[in-house]
Amino acid sequence: MLNFQYYTPTKVVFGKDAELKVGPLVKAEECKKVLVHYGGQSAKRSGLLDRVCEALKDFDIDYVTLGGVVPNPHLSKVYEGIELCKKEGVDFILAVGGGSVIDSCKAIAYGLGNPDVDVWDLFTGKATPKTCYPLGSVLTIAAAGSEMSNSCVITNEEGWYKKALDTDLARPKFAIMNPEITYTLPDYQTQCGCADIMMHTMERYFVLEDTMEITDKIAQDVMKNVMKYAKILKKDPKNYEARAEIMWCGSLSHNGLTGCGTCGGDWATHLIEHELGGMFDVAHGAGLAAVWGSWARYVMDEKPERFAQFAVNVMGVEECEDIKATAIKGIEAVEDFYREIEMPTNLKELGIDPTDEQIKDMAMKATNNDTQQLGAFKKLSAKDLVEIYTAAK
């Protein structure tokens, strides 16, 4: 195993009516004014936004609201948020939403903390963030894990580039999680979230170095838990236990716990999907499900015993005499699970049919014009990505 640091400063408040505790949590940050940032109309219709704002009022906390965050959050909304915060004197950012809203908040917080640079330059690597405004979240979707992670992904509509920025500066001060809030999510969104949680764990699981047994067991149980409760939610969307299990798995899958003692993970599948999200605006979890099998088959020979271990310990595959045969059965079992929860296993099922030129464009964007290689399990060039995208069709 490798040396590692584990850092999770986010305070978690979990359970029924947890959102009503937002007042004292924000008050403890000694801020003057809060930006309450959210997505579409569901936060309003459900009454959640009103409950959050009333909880702030109860503690005499001034606030301003900004909605309109979309899936694959846009840079233009980030710019709008930065300007609004400057105008209103905001010094704390509160996300009421899922990963897209939290990521938009993080980007706004980066922009406010680094006013001398264009916030997009932080995502492209032209500049390095020095600080970040404090933020917290009231989670509405179990999926991205952004409520406890250092990750942030934003899409620039000019060219449809989707870029990530990962630093501990943007880890939220607190995460409020009430599983009941997710009861009304459409099944497609719920299952996209489950696919995303699975992938956050698998990205860290598929590594070449020797791993800690305890880290593997934690990761394996997170993945088995997600699969168990994703199936339950297909039939019983208001099952509190299932919602709670999935929500907590979402946080644990992306706060670094399941990668302790490794290089941190592969992440090629995520970067491959980012270009699908940027070009075609697909749901992130569904996009990951659509390309993972093609990635897995392409890289499996680098360490087939790792895939075989996954097949047996996570997917419940009966071990074959041939390691590669076991590994392949494990990949097929994941795809069977995705079909069971109505997630796509290829681009056609995802509803897109990219041209050869579009595939080349995505491969070049993902590799910064073929100047960078993706992944840790197997280093991938633009040519490799073209083959993976093509195989996923």
Does the pLDDT value for residue 2 go beyond 90? no
User: Could you report the per-residue pLDDT of 284-308, keeping only the tens digit for each?
Assistant: 999 999 999 999 999 999 999 999 9
Q: Give residue 185's pLDDT band: very low, low, confident or very high (50, 70, 90).
A: very high
pLDDT (mean) for 195-215? 96
The mean of the pLDDT values for the chain is: 96
pLDDT (mean) for 120-134? 97
Separation between Cα atoms, residue 149 and residue 166, nearest integer Å: 9
pLDDT of residue 73: 96
Bridge-based pairing state of the strands 153-156 and 92-97: unpaired
Give the range among 2-6, 57-61, 189-193, 363-367 with minimum mean pLDDT: 2-6
pLDDT of residue 41: 79
Question: Is the Cβ–Cβ distance between 257 and 218 less than 8 Å?
Answer: yes
Separation between Cα atoms, residue 247 and residue 232, nearest integer Å: 14
> Phi and psi (nearest 5°) for 155?
-105, 125
43 vs 97, higher pLDDT: 97
Domains and their CATH numbers in the chain:
11-182 (3.40.50.1970), 187-391 (1.20.1090.10)
pLDDT (mean) for 87-114? 97
Bridge-based pairing state of the strands 153-156 and 161-164: antiparallel
pLDDT of residue 345: 98
Does the pLDDT value for residue 24 go beyond 90? yes
Does the pLDDT value for residue 44 go beyond 90? no
pLDDT of residue 43: 83
46 vs 347, higher pLDDT: 347
pLDDT of residue 40: 84
pLDDT of residue 110: 98
pLDDT of residue 322: 95
Separation between Cα atoms, residue 60 and residue 81, nearest integer Å: 22
